[in-house]
Amino acid sequence: MDYRYRIFKAFLKFRGLKCTPERRRILDAVFSLEGHFDVEELYGLLREKRSGISRATIYRTIPLLIESGMIREALRCRKNVRYEHIFGHKHHDHMVCVGCGKVIEFKDDKIEELQDRMCRLYGFTPIEHRLGIRGYCKKCSGLAKRSVSRGKRAVNT
């Protein structure tokens, strides 16, 4: 189903940009990945598929995918920026386990609603929001204290 491609194409046209096979391949690759991905993984996948696409093109395409609503930044850990496709999915937030790196996706309508209320209170028009919780998942919470105490870099959201 290339419904999303049609949308992306419309976005490109609207912006006066061209619709190239590279862009299409990147779009497809992104949606062929199930979870979160970073540029390097995407590059690797495209390389596997022998679609000779350069990193530069990927870097240049990502903002377009974001602006067209296809993907968004999911989370960051130091220099590692990870994305996820959102087109056609419902919004969710993340819990990231500092112990094992596990990512739990969750959503709470009440929280969303309260955020909107907050925005209204401040006369703020939201485009996007991101909620990330760092901590320990069920498995890791036993070992918790110990593993933090001897300073290593924490995982971020």
Region from 28-36, 49-57, 66-74, 83-91 binding its own copies, contact rule CB under 8 A: 66-74
Closest CA to 102 of 133, 70, 147: 133
Cα angle 105-91-72, degrees, rounded to a multiple of 5: 90
Q: State which H helix or E strand residue 33 sits in.
A: none
Region from 21-29, 48-56, 63-71, 84-92 binding its own copies, contact rule CB under 8 A: 63-71
Considering only residues 62-91, where is the footprint of DNA by CB under 7 A? 78-81
CB crowding 65-93: b at 16 or more within 10 Å, else e? beebbbbeebbebeeeebbbbbbeeeeeb
Question: Which distant-in-sequence residues (6+ apart) come within 8 Å of 99 by Cβ?
Answer: 136, 137, 139, 140, 141, 143, 144, 147
- Residue 42 interacts with DNA (CB under 7 A): yes or no: no
Binding partner of 90, given DNA, its own copies, none, CB within 5-8 angstroms per partner class: none
Residues, the chain, total?
Answer: 157
- Residue 101 interacts with its own copies (CB under 8 A): yes or no: no
How near is the Cβ of 51 to its own copies at its closest, in Å?
24
How near is the Cβ of 151 to its own copies at its closest, in Å?
6
- Residue 18 interacts with its own copies (CB under 8 A): yes or no: no
Point out which residues bind its own copies (CB under 8 A): 15, 63-64, 66-67, 73, 76, 95, 97-98, 104, 106, 108, 110-111, 114-115, 117-119, 121-138, 141, 144, 148-151, 153-154, 156-157
